[in-house]
Every structure is written in structure tokens, then in C-alpha cells.
Homo-oligomer: A and B are copies of this chain.
Amino acid sequence: MRKSVRIALNQSNLCVGSISSNIDNMKSGILMAQEMQADIVVFPELSITGYAPDDLLLKRNFVRENISAITEIVEFASRKVPVLIFGCVGIDDRRFNGAVVASEGNIISQCGKASLEVKGLFDEKKYFSGISKIDIFEIKNFRFGISIGGDIFKDSVMENEFRENGVGLVIDIASPVYETGILDKPYQDMESLSRRTGMCICQCNNVGGEDELIFTGGSVVIDSNGLLVSSGKVFEEDFLISDLIPKFPYEIKRIPSYEKNKYICEDVIKIDLPEEPKREIYPKIAEMPSGTEEEIILAIKMSIKDYVRKNGFKGVLIGLSGGIDSALVAALCVMAVGRENVLGIMMPSKYSSEGSVKDSEKLAENLGIRTYKTGINEVFEKYLEILGPVFSDFVPGNGKDTTEENIQARIRGNYLMAFSNKLGYLVMNTGNKSECATGYSTLYGDTVGGFAPISDLYKKWVYGISAKINQMEGQDLIPVEIIEKEPSAELSYGQKDSDSLPEYEVLDEILYRLIELDMDVDEVVACGYEEETVKKTNRLLRINEYKRRQEPLGPKISTCKFGIDRIYPITNGYGR
């Protein structure tokens, strides 16, 4: 038997949510470690899921796939490398930022990160339990300690747990986030830690860009004399092989206090997840909670009033499309800040139906607000004239697509912002939650504005609230023509929302389940919706995170408001 232990550190660039590609990445690392006859192969913090998965961690299926992946990788490593160490999230109700130690196809132990982060983009305390129990295991008569991102620097860990129990080598899995000047720090800190304790230290780090976070890499191997044995590249994947001779046991006198099985985790991960998808446990129709229309109206009214007042705006302006969303926003604004402070802008194009201006005029008359009409045709034609030849150059046989539709929406956005700049009025955004969820909008077009009063209302709620306002007023303040017309973005001839989206009746029910009830796709399907429609809806929800990040804020009305109650990474390979 070798007198030293050979450790392979995989400094991997993982993708959040992309469990299968992360597993592939790990498999090649294991094969490489096998070839190098390593005793232990190590992967970084949360290697299965990628760091940081945010609210993906609240998805039961995501956690389930994480667990299947654990089985798969533990199995794969069996008979290739004696010991496998990697990061993952724990089981259902005991979710932690964990490290698993596996040997010969079995999980021999696991532990969780104790010093959870609160600051920064990933709020670990929201998702994980902190676990103070420390993990120690033995192979080849060496005794090892496991630490997760930062725990190693807690005195209690190194001194009280590891040192007292004769640990000779500590393996830390981590995700150091780059900021200027941080690169040298870990080495120095770790060297002095090793010198102080006499332990070997291996830190295996994540590397790569994930939205705003840059993981540095720069893994470290330090021998028992506190000397740097080797270090990983920064900002690149790397694979480090080191032979280490831990002083073991570190202080033989203290060994008796270590009971062999005390630190073997009793909560071994159960691989087969129990529950079947819930079937029909929720009502088929997910309406707005009944009887809440009036309170929602009052709530939004106050939020508009306070945003305008507390931020010192002179008034508000709204692009009136002839549709229900802008009509409702206009009505709410009048209720909030008074008709004299509300300005409606109509911006028809050649694709606008005859009704869209007429209906907006009627609305404005009912509400008693000033309006202005400024068509976009001429400007739009000019864009086409300038950009058309360029695009034909780039895209042979350039046909019209959503590019041209988006240009129209963006001209309207520009108009509204120009009015806002000129008058000091706040642009009110008119997007609803069904649109935000599916990205049925043009970024910098109809997404412009400072405040988005109905952005947390599903389209069906928009209808309910509008009807309620008319009922409260005892007249059709919002003209019935607007309420009854079929939703359309009017960016091309005869266009209807239902050309691109499922009918709102169905869409909202699916969205409600995916968002408010946080169901997985299979659970929604089990409620009786068409699988294809559910998958499409879920895909739209997933890929439009980037749009929502740049959309204006609006009041929280539902139980699950985007950005407050539901936080997902943009760069996210889950379900791709």
C-alpha cells in the first residue's frame, strides 16, 4: 500500500441546471482520475446542479433529477476510483449545500455547508439548512475531513472537529466568486491555516461565468508543512493530480475521542423518490381568488399613487392600444392620480384595426383624460427603407419576420419615452403577468416604462378587474368593445395573440400551476392539460427570464411575483 494518497481535483466549468452535461463533465473527470490511478477524485461545490440554481432548488423534479444523477455518478465511479467526492443538494425536506463521499458504488457519508451565505446574488439561507455536523472518513488508514466553501475557515471546524479527531487532510469544495484582488487571497489564507494546524488542504473550485458571477477556479493543494504543492489555473478548467502524505493521525493522543461511526451521516440519500405527481388536487379552473377584485383595485390604485407621489412625478402617460390592458391601466391611473394627471397616447400603424383608435377615444372620453394621436407608419417605413437593404445583404432573400414587428413596438416605446422626457411624466407599462411569463412582448418596445401596475395580473384577472371597475362605476367606463375584442398585438395583418400562445383560458390555468402552485410539467399534465401545450408554456416561461430582468417593477398582487417570490438564473440549462 502506498504511503501517500493521490488526489485528483476536477476544476470544472459547470452549467447551472444542466444536470446531464454536468454529469458528462464529471464522467470524463472520473475516467481521467482512473487513468492516473488516483485514490480520491474531487469535484467542486454543487457540481451536480451547478452554482447557483436559485429557485430551481424549490422544484421537486429538479431535486429528484439531482438525486438520480447522484446514483448515476456514484455507480459510474465504482471500480474506477476508490473514493469519489462531489457537491450536490440534499433530499427533499433536508435540503442542504452538501458534499457526498462515495466508495465502491455506495454513499459512505455526506455533510452540508454550515456557514451559509446571505449576501450577494445567491441567498443560501433561503434554500439550505446549515449543518454543523462535520464529516470525517477514513481510507488507506488516512483520516479525511470534508468542508464546503468557507467552513474550513471556521476555527471550530479545524480546531475542534478535525484536529481533535486526528484528521490529516481536509478536502474543501468551493465556488470562489471573482472580484479584483481576490485571486491571491485563498493561497495565503490556506497556507497559514495549514501551517497552524499541520493538515494537508485541498480546495477544489468551480470555474466559469454564470450570469453576473465569475467563479475563479484557482484550486489549491497544500501539504502538511503549509507549502503550496500545486494550484489550478484561473478562469479555465483544470485537472490537478497530487500525491500527499498527511501526518496521520495528527495528534495520536487525541484519537480516542473519535468514534468510528459517529460522523457517518445517518441521513443517507434515498434514491427512489416517493410521491407520484399529484393528480387533480387543485380545482381545474384557477380563477383569481374570488371576491378579491375590489381589494386588488384598491391595492394597485395605492401603489400607483405612492410610486408617482413619492418619486415626484408630475403625471403619468399611457400608450393606448385599444386593448384591454392599456384600458385597465388608464382607468387605474385615473383612480390613483386623477384624470387631470393622466395622458393617453395613441400610436396607430397600418396594422391597427379600425377599432383600436376609435375604442381608445371612447375610453379616453369615458375617463375624461387628454389624449394625443401620433402615428408610427412614416417612421416605421423609414426604418424599413434604411435597414431593409442591409438585412437583404446579410440574410439572402430577407423575408419579414418578428424583427419588423418588434421595430414597430420599439418606435412606440421611443414615442412614449420622448413624451416622458419632454413632459416629466412617468410612462406606465401595460404588460400583464401572462405576457411577462411567456415573453409575449417586445423588449424596449411595449416593455418600456417606470412602473408596471398590472404586471402581476394574469390576463384572465385583467378581464375580471376591468369588469369589476365597470360594475363599481355603474357604467361601462372601459368600453364593452374593448372587453369583448380578441386580444391582438396588431403588429401584422390579422394577428391574434392566439397565433403564438395557447388561448388565455388555458394558458392562464397552466401558468397558474407552473408559477403560483410551483408544479412541475408532469404534474400540470396530470391535471388534464395537453402535454405539448404545457411543455411549450413551460419553455416560454423558462427562456424569458432575461426579459423579465429588464422589465419595470410593478406591485406584488399574486402569491408568486416574479423577482420577489420567484428568482431564477438567466443562464440555466434545466429542461433545455
> For residues 379 through 394 of chain A, which have their beta carbon under 8 Å from a beta carbon of chain B?
379, 382-383, 385-387, 390-391, 394
- Evaluate contact between A401 and B422: CB separation under 8 angstroms: yes
- Evaluate contact between B383 and A414: CB separation under 8 angstroms: yes
* Closest CB in chain B relative to A355 CB, distance in Å: 23
**Complex formed: what's the CA distance from A414 to B379 in Å?**
12
Tell me which of A479-487, A492-500, A548-556 binds B: A548-556
User: Looking at chain A, what size class is its interface with the partner chain?
Assistant: 35 or more
- Evaluate contact between A209 and B302: CB separation under 8 angstroms: yes
Given contacts A208-B306, A292-B181, A391-B422, contact A555 B214 (CB under 8 A): yes
A555-576: contact bitstring with B at CB < 8 Å (1 yes, 0 no)?
1111101011100001101000
**Copies per assembly:** 2
Tell me whether A537 is interfacial, beta carbon within 8 Å. Answer: no
Given contacts A306-B210, A394-B423, A550-B551, contact A289 B407 (CB under 8 A): no
- Evaluate contact between B571 and A307: CB separation under 8 angstroms: yes
A404-422: contact bitstring with B at CB < 8 Å (1 yes, 0 no)?
0011001101110110011
Tell me whether A296 is interfacial, beta carbon within 8 Å. Answer: yes
* Closest CB in chain B relative to A15 CB, distance in Å: 5
Residue from B214, B387, B450 within 8 A of A418 (CB atoms): B387
Query: What residues of chain B lie closer than 8 Å to A18, measured between beta carbons?
Result: 310
* Closest CB in chain B relative to A11 CB, distance in Å: 13
Query: What residues of chain B lie closer than 8 Å to A557, measured between beta carbons?
Result: 178-180, 214
Given contacts A126-B119, A422-B395, contact A292 B180 (CB under 8 A): yes
Query: What residues of chain B lie closer than 8 Å to A288, measured between beta carbons?
Result: 180
Taking A18-B310, A209-B555, A372-B394 as known contacts, 7 extra A-B pairs with beta carbons closer than 8 A to each other, sorted by chain A number, are A125-B125, A213-B556, A379-B382, A387-B418, A403-B421, A417-B443, A550-B551
- Evaluate contact between A379 and B386: CB separation under 8 angstroms: yes
* Closest CB in chain B relative to A411 CB, distance in Å: 7
Tell me whether A72 is interfacial, beta carbon within 8 Å. Answer: no
- Evaluate contact between B571 and A310: CB separation under 8 angstroms: yes
11 CB contacts below 8 A, A to B, read A180-B288, A208-B306, A209-B302, A212-B553, A382-B382, A387-B418, A394-B423, A401-B421, A401-B422, A402-B421, A550-B552
